[in-house]
Chain A
Amino acid sequence: MGLFNRQVKKKTENGNGKANGNAPNGQDTNGHDVPPSPETGEGGAELFDVKTSETMGDRVGGTLRDKSPHAIKALMPWIDKARSGPEGRAEFIDKTKEVAWVQADNTVRAISAGMGIADTRAFFRGDPPIEKPNPRYKVHVNAFFAHLRPKYYEKASTKFSHTFALGYLSIYMFLLETITGVILMVFYTPSDRRAYEDIIKIMSSIPYGQLMRDLHRVGAELMVLIVVLHMTRVFLTGSFKPPRSFTWLTGVVLLILTFALSFSGYLLPWDQLAYWAVTIGTSMAKSVPPKEIVGYFSNLIMRGGDTINQNGLLRFYLMHVFALPAITLVLISVHYYRVARSHGISLPAAEEEDPDPAVRKAAKERIDYLPELFTRELLWAAITTFLVVVYSAYVFHAPLQEHSNPLHTPLHTTAPWYFLWIQGLLKDAFVLPAIRALDQLIISSVKYIGVVMPPGSTIIVPLYDSPAWMGVILPTMIIPALFFGVPYINEWWEKFWGSKPSRQLLKNRKGTVVVAILSTIFMLVIWYQGTPFYGVTAPPAVEIGQAFLPEEGVLPPVPLVPDDWGPIRRLGYENLPDGEYDLAEYAVPKTTYTEFERILSAIQQEIMRRGQLWEEGDKEHGLPEPTGVFTIEQWQQNGLKRIELQINWTKTTPSDTGEFKRVIYLQQDTRYQ
C-alpha cells in the first residue's frame, strides 16, 4: 500500500484530490488526467459513505475495486465509459495501452536496473541513450555487478594491442577454476584411501567428468600463464609506475597466490607425480632460514607429519578449496578496486606523452562500459570458453600417473612446469661450482705461504646451504623482493639520474629492455636446468629403460610441450603383440619392420652402443657385454598387458646384480597407463 499512498500524496500536492489515503479513484501513476467518474461525481469520497441500503453485490464490487492492482484501478473509470458506446470503447482501449505501457516500462526498469523499454532497445541496437541523464549510468548506480565496473573507460586504454585483455582473462580463469572446481568437489574425497580412486571414477564413469577435470587443469595452467603474461605486459608498458605502484604490489601478491593455488591442487590426485612433486615443494620450505625453527615447523605444518600422508592431503585440500581462493578473492577485489576506481587502465605511453594535445585528447575520449565494452568482454569470454573446451576435449588430457607410493621415488621427478625454474636453481649449477672453485683457489694459493691443507679439505663450502639459498632465498628475492620493489626501484632510479619519468619503452627505457631480455634469458636457462634433461644421470641400464619405457610420464603434457611417455606407451596397447623377444635378433634394422619391431631394433642399437662405450673404456656410461630381452604378456585380466625390458651384463663388482628390469603395465581402454 505504501506505493499507492505515495502516489495519492503526489496527487494531493497537485491539488486535484483530497488528502484521503484510501481514495481508490482519481489517481494515475503518471499524473494523467482522470475524468470524473460518471457515478461518483468528482473524486472518490462518496465511496466512503457506506449506505446500509447497499446491496451485497455493490459491496463486493466496492471491495474488489478497492483491492484491485493499481493498473486495473487506474482503468476503472474508463470501464463504464466503454459501456456507453464505440467512442468510449476506443477511449478505453487507448487508456489500456497507456496503462500497460507504464506497467511494462516500469517492469523493464526494475529488471534492467534503470533503463526503460526504449532505452533497453537502444542499448541492444547500439544506439545512443534516449533519456537524459544517461539511464545506462543509472544501471551502474543501481545494480551491484554493474557498480563494480567503471561507467566509462578512456578510449586508448581499451585497445586490444595495449592490454591483450590479460587482466580480464585472469579473472575469467579464476571463475572457470571456481566453477569446474566445485563440480569436481562433488565426486572427490580428500582421503589417502579414496582420492586416487575418485579421480579414476571422475575420468572413467562420470559423464563429462574427464572434461571437467581437463578443463580444471587447462584453466589452472592457463591462469598461471596469463597472470605471468599480464605482469609482463604491465612491466613493458610501464604501467607499474606511479600512481599504480600499489596496484603492482597487489598484483605480485596475486601472482604468488596463483602459484600457490595451482601448486596446492597438484597433490589432490594422489598419484606419484603429485606425491613427489609436493614432497620436493614442502622440503624447500624445510630450508627456510633459520631452518631449525621456521623451516622445520613450516614443513611440519604443511605436511601434517614427517612425510605427506592423510593429514597432508587434507591440509592441501583445505588450502586449495577454501583458504587460498578466499584470500585470492580479497586480493583481486583490492587490485581491481584500484584499477576501476583510482587510476584506471593506463593509456598507451606514446599517446599519453604525445606532444600534440589533440592526440592526448583523443586518447582520453570516453567510451562507455555499457554496452560497448560489456559486449566486447562477453565476446572474449565466449571465445575463450570455446577454445578451452575444444582444447580440453580433443587435445589435452590431464595426466594421471600411478597411485602414490611413499616408499618409491620415480626417476626424473619434476616440479610443475611453472616451478621448473626453481627446480633448476636447486640443481645449483652456478653458485656451488663457483664456491668449490674458490675453495680450490684458496687452498692452492695458501700453499705458497706455507700452509698445506690436506687434500679434499674445504673452507667456504660447508658454510653454504644450497637448498636454503637456491630453493628459498633466491626465489624469494626474485619474486617478492625484486618484483615488489620494481615501481619503487624505478622511481629511485629516475630520481637518481634525474631522468624524465616516461613510460615509453623503446624511447626512454632502453635499460629496462636490456634488463628484461637478460632476466628472461636467465629464467629460460634455469627453467631448462629444471627439466629432467639436465643434471640427473642414472646408471646406463636405467637410462635405456627410462628412454623407452619411462617409469612414469616424465614431463606432464603441458600446453605446447610434448608429453614424454616413451615410444612403447605411445605405440599403445593394440600395437604390442604378446611374446618374448630376444633383442639380439633385431641388431640390424630392416625396412620390412613394423613400427613395433623398429622400436625393438632401436633399443638393441642403444644397448650395443653402451657395450661399445664400455669397450672404449667409458665405465661411467658403458655396460660390459650387455644383452636385452623384451617381454609382453597378458597379465591377470583381459585388457592388461605387462611389458618388461630386461638388460643383463657381466658383473663388475660383487654387489653388482648384472641385471636390470623395467616393468610397466598398459591397459586396453584408457589413455592412461
Chain B
Amino acid sequence: MPVFNQSRSNVIRLIFAAMFLIIAAQLFNLQIYSVKYTKLAQENALFPKRVYPNRGIIYDRNNKAILNNAILYDLMVTPSQVKNIDTAYFCQLMDIDTAEFRSRIIDAKFKNGPFRPSIFEDLLPPDLYAKLEENIWRFSGFNLQERPIRTYPFDAAAHILGYVGEVDSSVLRRSSGYQLGDYVGRTGLEQYYEKALMGQRGIEFWLKDNKNRLVGHYENKMYDTAAIAGKNLRTYIDIGLQQFAEKLMSNKVGSVVAIEPKTGGIIAMTSSPDFDPNELTGPDKQKNYAKLQLNVSAPLLNRAIKGQYPAGSTYKPLGALIALDEGVITPASGYDCHGVYLGCSRPVKCDEKFPGHAANLRLAIAHSCNSFFCNTFRLTVDNPEFHSARRGLMQWKQYVNAFGLGHRIGIDLPSEDGGNIPDTTAYDKDYNHSWNSCTMVTMGIGQDKMLVTPVQMANAMCIVANKGYFYVPHFVKSIDGETPDDTVLNKYKTKHEVLTHISDDVYETVISGMQDVTEIGTARAVRIPGINMCAKTGTAENYLIVERKRTKLKNNAMFVCFAPRENPKIAIAVVVQNAGYGAAWAAPIGSLLVEKYLNDTLRAASLKKAEDIERTDLMPKYLVRLQFIEDSTNAARHALRTHDSTNLMKYIIPSSRAALLDTFRPNPIISSGVRSPMRKPKSNFKTKKADSAR
C-alpha cells in the first residue's frame, strides 16, 4: 500500500507537542512563577479566627471570684465578602433598617478595610444569637465569633474592678499587640493590671467552603497559635464587707475606704453613687454608659481616689502628732475654750461650750475642740525654732506630706488625684506676701486650702495605727503565675517608715485621745462593746458654684478610725457629702463596718441601724437642679439639631417642669437645717470643690 504524505505525520506530532508545551508553560506560570494564586487560595479557603484568651479572674481575700468570665458572641462582617445576601431578611433578624445596615457596612470598611473582619454588632443577646446561628450560612461575609466577657458575680466593686472596652486609636498607637476590635481594660484594676490580665491572643486557621461556612481546622491545627489565658489576681478585698459598705452608702454621695494597716491591702473601697458593673459588659453597655455619663451625680467617678474633700476635724489627730513632735505642745497642754476661738481677728466657732472640754490634749481630741487645734496650728507655724511663719509652714507641710496627704500615694488604680496641702507660694500669691499664721488658722481644723482624698485619709490612719510606717495602699496581694521578673507588685511590698521618728509615747497619747472619741467624745454613740476603736469625726464646710453663685452647701460628714487599738486590723475613712454632722452620718457607717469586719456578724441593734442608714436618702438637693439644667440643655440641643422638640417640651411645660425640679420640697439648693458651726473664713476666695466631677 503506498503511503503518501508520510512526512505530515511528523507535522501532526509537532502540533501535538507544541500544544502541550504551551500548556506546560502556562502551568509553570500559574503554579511556580506567580505566587499570588497560593495567597488567593488561602484567602478563598482560610479564615484566620482570632481566639481570645480568658482574661484573668480577680479573687477577693477569701478566694471568691469577684470578676469572672462568661461567653457571648460578636457578629463579625467582612465587607468585601458581603454579596448577594437577603438584606431585608437580615435586617429583620437584626431589627435594624437597611439604611442602618448600609451605614454599618461602611463603618466596618472604614475601620478595618473591606477585606478584614470587623465587628458588626457585638455581644449579641442569647435569643438573637440563636436566630443568627441558624441562618448565618445565608449571609456571606458574616460570621459569629465567640467572645469571653466579664461578669461581676457580686454586682459590686464597680469602681475598683473597672470594665473593659474596645481599644481606641490612642491605645493602638501606644502599645503593640492590639488589633482593632480587641478589648482592653478601661478603668480600675482592669486597666492597671491589663498586662497581667489580658493573656495572649491566639489564631486558629479554619477552612471555609465557597458558601463561607467553616468546615474544619486547617492542616490539623499545625499553624494555629494557642491563646494563653490571663493571670489571675488575688486581692485583699473582702467582698462581703465591700457589699455591706455599698449598701450603707446607697442613696448618698461619698466614699468609704477600708485598709489593712499591717499590709496596706485595701479591704473595701466604695464610691457613691455607684452602678452595677454588669451594666457595662452586656449588649446594652453603650446605652447604659451614656446614661451614667449624663448623670450629674457622676456615678462613674471613683470618689475614693478622685474626690477631694476638706479634711475637717479628721485632720486633728495628725495636727496633734505634729505639734507634739515639734514640742510646741505637751500632752498636758490645754486651751480655755468657751465655744469660740478669738486668737485671730476673726472668730472661729467651736461646737463644745462647757468649760474644760479642752483641758488637755486627750480631751481636746475627744471633744474635737476647734479652739485648741487652731491654737495648736498657730503654735506649730509660729514655732520659735524656725524664726518665721514661712519656715514654720513649710516644716508643717513636710509633716503632713509625710502622712501621705497632698500628693498621689500610688494606689494600684489609674488616675488618682493628689489632694492639696498648700505651701507658702499659694499664700504669697493670694495675700501678696503678707500673711501670718492667722491667715490660715482654719487649716488647723482641716479647712482652708487643705483637700484630701478618702484613700489618703484612710492611709493616714494606717500610719497612726502603725505608729509611723505604712505600705502604699493597694488591692492586689499576688498575681498567679507571677515570675520574679514581674516587678509590678514590688512597690507595694516596700515598708515606708516615714514618721517612725515620732516617739511611741506621742502616738500613744494621740491614740488614747482617739479612743476617747468613741468612749466619751463625739462618737460615743457608735462604740462597739468589746472593741477598742480609735476614731475621729469630722464635719467639713464646703462650697459649690451653682448658676454662677458661690453657694454654701450642707456640711460633709467625715469619719476616720482604726480598730482594734491593740492590734489594728482595719483603718477606715468615711465621707458622706452634704450630710451634716460627721458623728451623725459618717461615724455609724464606719463603726458598722468595723464591727462587721472584726466580729464577722452584727448585733441586732447594729442590724437595725444598718437598715436605717441604708434607707436614709442623703442625696444633695442641688443635684436635682443640676440634673434638670443638664437634661434640658441636652434636650434643647437635640431639638435644634433635629427640629423635634417633643422631648424639650417636658422641660418647658410648667407642670412637668415642677415635677422634674422637685419643687414640692423646700429650698433645693441651700443647705437646710443645721447651721454652720463656724463662720465663713474670708480668706477662702476659691471655691473648694466638693467634688471634682462638677
Partners in one complex: no
Chain B interfacial positions (CB closer than 8 Å to A): none
